[in-house]
Amino acid sequence: MADEQTPALASGPTTIRVGTRNSPLALAQAYIVVAALRTVLPAYSFPIHGMTTTGDRDQLTALYNFGGKGLWTTQLEDKLEANELDIIVHSLKDMPTTLPEGLVLGCVTKREDPRDTLVLKKELVDKHGWKTLADLPAGSVIGTSSVRRIAQLARRYPSLKFKDHRGNIQTRLRKLEEDPELTGIILAAAGLQRMQLDAHISQFLESDNGGILHAVGQGALGIECRSGDDKVLAALKMIEDKDATLATIAERSLMRALEGGCSVPIGVETKWVEPGQLRLRATVVSVQGTEGVDGEATEPITTAEQADKFGEKMAADLVSRGANKILDDINKNKPAPPPPQ
C-alpha cells in the first residue's frame, strides 16, 4: 500500500465509476472493492453501476461459449472503453485470459479461500448424517455444469452421477432443496463466504491425494481498467495483493498457454510454501474423467515475469505428457453454438 498519494491521484476528478454485473455475488464483490478503495482514498467517491449482461439473460448461449470470450463482460467493457465507467470488478475466474486492446487487469485484490465446496441437501444431512462425498451412496446425483468439476469428481468418485445445474448462487441453493433428484451441489467457497452463505458448506474439497483442483483465478477478484488511465491504475495499486497477483498470473499464463477457456477442464492450485516460493499444481482432465495429466512444481517467484514464465513452463510440461491430446479431443467434440435468437 502506498504511503503517499501519487500526483495522478492528488489532482483532477475524485470520482471512480465502478461497473459490475447485477447478480447478488457480483454486487457483493463490487461493495468489497469499493470498501477497500474508500479506506485508501477517503476523499473519493465510487458510484456503482450494475448491469444485466447477455450472459445473465441467455445462459444457453453462454454455456456454449467455450472459448471464454466473455459474454458476461463485453457489454461492461464497451462502457469502459466509452469512458462511461472507470473500473469493472470481476470474479477473476470469469475473466478471459486475454483482454481487449486498451484494457488491462489493473489489480488483483486479496484472495478468498479458492477451494470448491460440497453443499448437501439439508434433509439428507439431517436424515443420514452425511458430510462428505465419501459418505454418499453409489448413484448419488451432484448438480454442477462445470466440466472441470465433473471431470475431476468422476475420476475420483466414479459412482457419482451429475446433473446440469445453473443460475446464480441463491438460485442454485434453492434448486438443491427443491429438486428431488439432487443430493448435493458444488460451489466455490469464495462466493458463499462473500455473501455470508458459508453455513451451507458441508465439505471443503481438498486437493491432496488426487483431490479436486479449483478453477484458474477462483476466489480472487480482478479489476479491469483502461491501460492509459494513470489515476485509476495508481488507485488500484494501493489495494493490490502481491501474493494473489503473482499466483494468479502463473495460473492465467498456464491457462492461456493451453488455450483453455472457462469451460475447459483445467484445475489448478497455487500455494506459497514459504515466502517467495510458489508451488503450482495443475490437472487437465478429459470430459468423462477417464484420462488426466497432472503437474506439480515449486519455483522462486518474486516478479510478474517469473510468474508468467512459470505458468508457461507448466503448460509445456503438461502438453509434453499428453494434455494436448485431451484438449484436442474436447475441441473436436465441442458442439456448435446455437443460432442467435
- From the CB of 270, what's the least distance to ligand PBG, in Å? 14
Active site residues: 94
The b-or-e profile of 202-220 (16+ CB within 10 A means b, else e) is bbebebeeebbbbbbbbbb
| E strands present in the chain | 18-21, 48-51, 87-91, 103-108, 116-120, 141-143, 161-163, 184-188, 203-204, 221-226, 266-274, 277-285, 292-300
Return the bridge partners of 268, or none: 214, 282
- From the CB of 118, what's the least distance to ligand PBG, in Å? 12
Q: Is 144 in the site for ligand PBG (CB under 6 A)?
A: no
Tell me the one-letter amino acid at 109.
T
Q: Is 219 in the site for ligand PBG (CB under 6 A)?
A: yes
Q: Is 125 exposed, middle or buried (0-12, 13-18, 19+ CB in 10 A)?
A: middle
Q: Which one, 263 or 313, has the nearer CB to ligand PBG?
A: 263
**How far from the centroid of its chain's Cα atoms is residue 140's Cα?**
26
The piece of 35-43, 188-196, 232-240, 270-278 that touches ligand PBG (CB under 6 A) is: 188-196
The piece of 81-89, 159-167, 184-192, 202-210 that touches ligand PBG (CB under 6 A) is: 184-192
Q: Which one, 72 or 130, has the nearer CB to ligand PBG?
A: 72
- From the CB of 225, what's the least distance to ligand PBG, in Å? 19
Task: Give, rounded to a whole angstrom, the gap between the first and last alpha carbons of the chain.
Answer: 48
- From the CB of 239, what's the least distance to ligand PBG, in Å? 16
Q: Per-residue contact track with ligand PBG, 39 to 78, x per CB under 6 A?
A: ----------------------------------------
- From the CB of 136, what's the least distance to ligand PBG, in Å? 19
Count of C-beta atoms within a 10 Å radius of residue 268: 27
Q: Per-residue contact track with ligand PBG, 145 to 174, x per CB under 6 A?
A: ------------------------x-----
CA angle 46, 48, 53 (to 5 degrees): 150
Figure out which of the listed residues 20, 73, 140, 218 binds ligand PBG, where binding follows CB under 6 A.
218
Q: Is 267 in the site for ligand PBG (CB under 6 A)?
A: no
- From the CB of 177, what's the least distance to ligand PBG, in Å? 17
Q: Is 241 exposed, middle or buried (0-12, 13-18, 19+ CB in 10 A)?
A: middle
Q: Is 191 in the site for ligand PBG (CB under 6 A)?
A: yes
Return the bridge partners of 105, or none: 224
Q: Which one, 169 or 212, has the nearer CB to ligand PBG?
A: 169
Q: Is 187 in the site for ligand PBG (CB under 6 A)?
A: yes
φ, ψ dihedrals at 198, nearest 5°? -75, -10
Helix (H) or strand (E) holding 27: helix 24-40
Cα–Cα dist 314/296, whole Å: 8
Q: Which one, 216 or 225, has the nearer CB to ligand PBG?
A: 216
The piece of 53-61, 89-97, 246-254, 285-293 that touches ligand PBG (CB under 6 A) is: 89-97
Cα–Cα dist 97/99, whole Å: 7
φ, ψ dihedrals at 102, nearest 5°? 95, -10
Figure out which of the listed residues 20, 53, 91, 270 binds ligand PBG, where binding follows CB under 6 A.
91
Q: Is 190 in the site for ligand PBG (CB under 6 A)?
A: yes
List of residues contacting ligand PBG (CB under 6 A): 91, 93-94, 169, 187-188, 190-191, 218-219
